[in-house]
Structure 1
Amino acid sequence: MTSSRPFNPNDYPVVIGIDFGTTFSGCSYSFVHNDEVVDIVKWPKQNNNVYPKTPTLNFYQGSSNQMAHWGNAARLEMLRPTARNSVLLKQYKLYLDENIAKDLPPLPNGLTIVDAIADYLHAFHEHVVSELRKGFARNYGQHQFRYCLTVPAMWSDRAKSTMREAAIKAGLIEENDHRDRLMLISEPEAAALYCEKKCEQYNLGHNDQFMICDAGGGTVDLIVFRIDERSGRKLKEWTKGHGQSCGSVFLDRRMRKLLKKKFKEYLSSIPASAFETMMDTFVDLIKPQFDGVEDQFISLPAAMNLESLNNPAIGLEDGTLCISAAELKQEVFEPVIKEVLALIEDQLMKAGSMQAIFLVGGFGSSNYLFDRVMEDFGSRVGLVAVPPRCELAVVRGAVYFGLNPRIVTTRIPRYWYGIDTTTSFEEGIDPPNYKIVRADGSVRCDNRFSVYVWRGRPLDIDNCMSKDFFAYYPHHTTCTLYAADTEEQPRYITSPGVRKVANFTIPMPELTGVMEGEKVDLSIKMYFGEVELRVEGKKTQAQNEVK
């Protein structure tokens, strides 16, 4: 994406933060001249006024690929008898986690993941704009809005690129807008900015370290930050964050499995709508409040069509199903919670010491998760806390980032980044089939991974990585950027765990006095400290050939 003029933040007096979530999505905004953050709390077909987000759901009628309803309306539409052969698309954000996506079936109705996200974001954004126009933002046009979109820190560059593509297709910005009009920020980093704003009540100061455990519907992301007060209050990412797909939807999946096990002899006669009603009771009432001590009760819907309302073997009495706290812990909560605790332990070991752990996100507000984190880490960390409105921490933090993108000064890359080069061949180490003998007699090794960014090594946001190479005049230099999340530095672009990120071309300028086929030295610079990559090239001295 290019723009003919430099980016001017003053052209965009309204900053909009969007948290596109696995199960729920939210939006907040602020005016640049007044950093008060306002939440969008009214959503179409809202079934209550308590939760300030809307479900991430798409409804497609029959086999159509045109979205008919979204959010709460999609959920309600699916309950109609006419929706029997229609599609309710949910939890599709998980398709951007490449570790999970490979095991997921193709999306229905011929949809791509870009289509699905763009359909939802288009309708979501239209509602947001209509809400803004009801308030003080009515004085501004949509061309004056700047956006900050949150993404899981564990996502690959390809997944982030897909999110940007979907946002453009949804009409948030135009293809030819300056790319800084749409900023991406990792969800735990956004949550850290929100918690940092609340730090005065937690008494955290210079060089103190705190962990963000952003537990959402699909993913749980963790990063440790250190507070730097040497020149204003800034944040430094202190550990190479970690995350995985072990959010609260995995509690739902385990609960559904438990209910199916209990009602296995009735499954053929229970309508799907009755099962969903029981699941709604779990999601809305049991999951947030479960404390690991009290047994839980689900009133069976009339549509269950059971011959008897009593079955002591499964805990059914007078139409009410009793599930013991012990069974819920063992079958539903503990397997998922243990994954979260292992992630926290890993970050704590890397950081060495910690003054606070903040639990944020919808799952972060779980009483049972808080109790288990306190049980395991309360004696080792000064403070375990759930900040106010923790389910809005990410989206509010996204707005803070939009207002001040330079508050985080250091980030730690989760990948090795490098390009494909040829270097000196080492006998006995490099594969014989990678050997190239040049016309001048030099022996080179093909497919070498030339590192630009070291995984886990801190990078300032303005950091520029530069390497010298040569090419042959007048050919343009075409490079492919590769990434790897392996523990060891990869030696070849073909090594296990190495994936292609992008192709880019650096044009060769017209050079006076240079003959065709003559070697030209050049330098390639890449800027990795921000969320998205920037590449530059210029003529210089070199030793390695760019392929």
Structure 2
Amino acid sequence: MDTFAALSSGKRLLVVGIDVLLQFGTTFSGLAWAETRRSDHQSVIETWPASFGRQEGTSSEKVPTQLRYTQKGIEWGFQIPASVERFQWFKLGLANGDQSIVGDRARTSDGLTTDYLTELVKHLMYTLEQKIGNTTLETTPIEFCLTVPAIWSEAAKDKTLKACQAAGLKSKTEILLVSEPEAAAIYALQGLDPHNLKIGDTFVLCDAGGGTVDLISYTITALHPTIKVKEAAAGSGEVCGSTFLNRRFETFLRDKLEKLPQWDEEILTDAMERFESVIKKQYLPSTFDQDGYKVPVPGLPNNVKLGIRRAKLTVTPAEMQDIFEPIIGSVIKLVKNQISATKTTVKALLLVGGFGQNNYLKDRLSTSLPKSVIVMQPPNAWTAVVRGAVMMGLARANSNLAAVGLVSRVARKHYGIELSILFDHLLHDASEVHWDTIEGNYRVAAMRWFIKKGDPVKEGQPIDIHCQQAYLVSKGRPQSLSIVVYCDDQTATAPVHKTKNSRKLVILHANLATLSQADLDKTIVTKMDLKDYYQICGSVQAVFSSASTKYMLLLQGKSYDTVTTEYA
């Protein structure tokens, strides 16, 4: 029984949101779930395995995205003891097959991701069984909604989906892939006081996490019966999350103390723990002790020059400011650019994500932005992404459950295909022209952009990529058709011809075996070289969603759900 049949018959459906932050740094993953029968109640999983062989023991809204391989098996998250080596900075989606190295062992990003997701899914199913019972769990359909950073490439997203499948994430419907800032925005917007909202209000959301900082902006287009919004500007983002504060602090410690004979990695671990758990979260220059910040460095002798006394290192306010400033400055620049891109008055900035809870970041943004922009930290900021993922999954299952409706997004790139078309001296570069002996005319290779950067893209509305290909009849029946889709996120105005900024996005492969011989025979034409060709005309239909694109082939007036994708 499919999702909609299950809903119409009154049966339960579970929707699970998965927020797996896998890109850089000491990041965390989150799980949340809800039932369609109680769509207003989201349950965030807050109990995690504390040691190997245990299912519970540690309470937290999220779990560290970390792995350790032992003779007993895989340790993950909070199971990993302090001060031991671990895999933690997964770089998913890099086309060059990145490896992570711990000790003398190297593992691929894909393998690490699959192993981590496998453990996460095991814990998810254990938790659901405890909450709703094994019998109910076995008979209740589950749909999954997975969040990814908005700045990830399509290839990285595709690898994420494959890792989920390899990890045993199974559902009767496709895994819904959504961007982290969009999920967070859906959650944050539905929590705003409706009495203070009006049509035309524009909000910018900053999802500042451990690895990435993503910006997205929305303008309200309707308030009743539910809030509807359209994206106000193309989203933006960079890899400048709070993990880079950790890295800068670690570099500072190593540069200052590593040459001391008593220095070791355990000292570094203790110092980093203090920075992560206290200083980074509470840092506010106006309220902190102006004499400096005390960091434990057990085992190091007193050293007046270095600022060490009684196994504590004093980090001066100027040194701490130097650690924070480049990262805070990058976030402020991103926010200002996003506000400017909306080309309208922004009512408020909504700060979510782990880094988004940082009071110093909030204060700096408040003083750096126009006074008319209210800087807000919505409730549940750390879990806003995974809560929003659940809401988006519920909306897909049943549109009546949508708390916030998204009308349209703004394209971040130009998308198009390269076609051979008739030469037009008013449009085309003369150096690109060539004589086509088959068609009997002068032609050029030119881009046909079916979406241009900055264009509004309506939610769920198909866009056709028209094309045709000719195959010599004498060579036999054609077996496949391949189309390369290009994108360009660098050029402001879509170029007429392919440039160095036009990169391959995806190769679409269509199986022509589904065309009957009778349909093929109807396509035969005789061209200027007096040879017969199968001239197959049609289009590839693309439907753009939050963080994914679906393709369907339309040939000779018929739909063929036979398009496979190969991401470049």
Q: For residue 125 of structure 1, what is the amino acid of its counterpart?
A: V
Counterparts of 1:95-114 in structure 2, within 5 Å, are 95-96=92-93, 106-108=99-101, 109-114=105-110
Q: Give the Cα–Cα distance (whole angstroms) in 2 for the partners of residues 444 and 361 of structure 1.
A: 52
SS of aligned partner of 2:321: helix
CA 1:497/1:336 → structure 2, altered by over 3 Å: closer, same or farther?
A: farther
Query: Following the alignment from structure 1 to structure 2, what is the Cα–Cα distance between the partners of residues 441 and 261?
Result: 70
Residue 434 of structure 1: how far off its partner (Å): 6.9
Contact 1:26/1:392 (8 A) holds in 2: yes
Given that residues 278 and 298 in structure 1 are in contact (C-alpha distance below 8 angstroms), is that contact kept between their aligned partners in structure 2? no
TM-score w.r.t. the length of structure 2 is: 0.83
Question: Which residue does 2:416 correspond to in 1?
Answer: 418
Report the 3-state secondary structure (helix = DSSP H, G, I; strand = E; otherwise coil) of the residue aligned with 2:42.
strand
Kindly report which structure 2 residues correspond to 1:136-175, keeping only aligned pairs within 5 A, or say none.
136=132, 138=134, 139-141=136-138, 144-173=141-170
- Shift of the alpha carbon at 1:322? 1.4
After superposition, what is the alpha-carbon deviation per residue over 1:166-194, rounded to whole angstroms, capped at 9, x for unaligned?
100110126xx532xx1011111111111
Q: What's the counterpart of residue 74 of structure 2? A: 68
> C-alpha offsets along residues 149-171 of structure 1, whole Å, 9 cap, x if unaligned?
11111111111111111100110
Q: Distance in 1 between matches of 2:361 and 2:272?
A: 20
Aligned to 1:384: 375
Deviation at 1:5, TM superposition (A): 7.6
SS at match of 1:517: strand
1:528 and 2:544 correspond: yes
- Partner residue of 1:39 out of 26, 44, 57: 44
How many residues are matched? Answer: 510
Counterpart of 1:545 in structure 2 is: none
The one of 240, 254, 271 equivalent to 2:264 is 271
Q: 1:258-297 counterparts in 2 under 5 A?
A: 258-266=252-260, 268-293=261-286, 294-295=288-289, 296-297=292-293
User: Any idea what SS the aligned residue of 1:33 has?
Assistant: helix
* Aligned partner of 1:132 among 128, 135, 158: 128
One-letter amino acid of the counterpart of residue 115, structure 2: D
Q: Does 1:349 align with 2:344?
A: no
Conserved 8 A contact 2:47-2:57: no
Task: Give 2:554's match in structure 1, choosing from 498, 513, 537.
Answer: 537
Residue 407 of structure 2 aligns to a residue in which SS? strand
Residue in structure 1 matching 2:452, options 431, 451, 454: 454
Could you tell me how far 1:471 is from its partner in structure 2?
2.7
Distance 1:491 1:90, change over 3 A: farther
After superposition, residues 7-18 of structure 1 pair within 5 angstroms as 10=7, 13-18=13-18
Structure 1 residue 29, shift from structure 2 partner: 0.6
User: Distance between the aligned counterparts of 1:343 and 1:67, measured in 2?
Assistant: 42
Question: What amino acid is the match of 1:517?
Answer: Y
Which stretch shifts more, 125-134 or 402-411? 402-411
For the 8 Å contact 1:297–1:320, the answer to whether it is kept is no
Shift of 1:318: 2.1
Summarize the Cα distance change of 1:225–1:111 in structure 2 as closer, same or farther, 3 Å threshold.
same
2:565 paired residue number: none
Structure 1, residues 340-390: CA drift from partner, whole Å, max 9, x if none? 000000011111211111100000011110110111125131x21111121
* Residue identity opposite 1:344 in structure 2: V
Partner of residue 304, structure 2: 312
Instruction: Provide the C-alpha distance between the structure 1 equivalents of 2:109 and 2:430, rounded to a whole number of angstroms.
Output: 39
1:483 and 2:487 matched: yes
**Which residue number in structure 2 is paired with residue 250 of structure 1?**
244
1:426-453 superposed Cα distances (whole Å, 9 cap, x missing partner): 569547577352234212223x332121
Instruction: Quote the residue 1:115 is aligned against.
Output: 111
Give the distance between the partners of 2:179 and 2:428, measured in 1 at CA. Answer: 39
In structure 2, relative to structure 1, the CA distance for the partners of 1:38 and 1:288 (3 Å cut) is: same
What is the letter of the counterpart of residue 357 of structure 2? S
* Correspondence 1:228 to 2:226: no
Matches within 5 A, 1:159-198: 159-173=156-170, 177-179=172-174, 182-198=175-191
Superposed CA deviations along residues 447-487 of structure 1, whole A, max 9, x for unmatched, are x3321211221111122222433333653432122222122
% identical aligned pairs: 28
Shift of 1:219: 0.2
Deviation of the 1:145 alpha carbon: 1.3
Q: 1:265 to 1:114 in 2, by over 3 A?
A: closer
**Aligned residue for 2:529?**
none
Compute the displacement of 1:301 (Å). Answer: 4.4
Deviation at 1:231, TM superposition (A): 5.4
Q: Which moved more, 1:354-363 or 1:193-202?
A: 193-202
Q: 1:226 offset after TM fit, Å?
A: 1.5
Q: What residue is the counterpart of 1:199 in the other structure? A: 192
C-alpha separation in 2, matches of 1:341 and 1:119: 36
Q: Deviations over 1:44-90 (max 9, x none)?
A: 1189966411100011249xxx962111113x1x635xxxxxx5111
The amino acid across from 1:233 in the alignment is I
> Is the partner of 1:89 in helix, strand or coil?
coil
Q: Does the CA-based 8 Å contact 1:438-1:444 persist in structure 2?
A: no
Q: Aligned partners of 2:83, 2:346: CA distance in 1, in Å?
A: 48
Note the residue ranges of structure 1 that are not aligned, 5 or more in a row. 81-86, 541-547
Structure-1 residue corresponding to 2:402 = none
| 2:346 alignment partner, SS class | coil
Q: What residue in structure 2 maps to residue 208 of structure 1? A: 201
The 1:436/1:289 distance shift into structure 2, 3 A limit, reads farther
Q: Give the letter for the 2:556 counterpart.
A: K
SS of the residue 2:48 aligns to? coil
Larger mean CA deviation between 111-120 and 193-202 belongs to: 193-202
Give the AA of the match of 1:135. K
Post-superposition offset of 1:31 = 0.5
Q: What's the TM-score, normalizing by structure 1?
A: 0.86
Partner in structure 1 of residue 464 of structure 2: 466
Measured in 2, the distance between the counterparts of 1:220 and 1:128 equals 27
Higher strand content, 1 or 2: 2
Tell me if the contact between 1:484 and 1:490 (Cα under 8 Å) persists in the aligned partners.
no
Q: Which residue of 2 aligns with 1:55?
A: 64
Task: Find the aligned partners of 2:454 and 2:62 in 1 and give their Cα distance.
Answer: 34
**Contact kept? 1:237, 1:410, Cα under 8 Å:** yes
Separation of aligned partners in 1, 2:327 and 2:195: 29
| Matching residue's letter, 1:297 | Y
RMSD: 2.9
Compute the displacement of 1:509 (Å).
4.2
CA distance in 2 between counterparts of 1:490 and 1:435 reads: 19
Distance 1:213 1:48, change over 3 A: farther
Which ranges of structure 2 fall in alignment gaps of 5 or more residues? 400-404, 472-476, 525-531, 558-568
Q: Deviations over 1:484-527 (max 9, x none)?
A: 21223244455324133233215244315554614343233222
What is the aligned partner in structure 1 of residue 19 from structure 2? 19
- Aligned to 2:129, the other structure's residue is in SS state helix
More displaced 10-residue stretch of structure 1: 123-132 or 240-249: 123-132
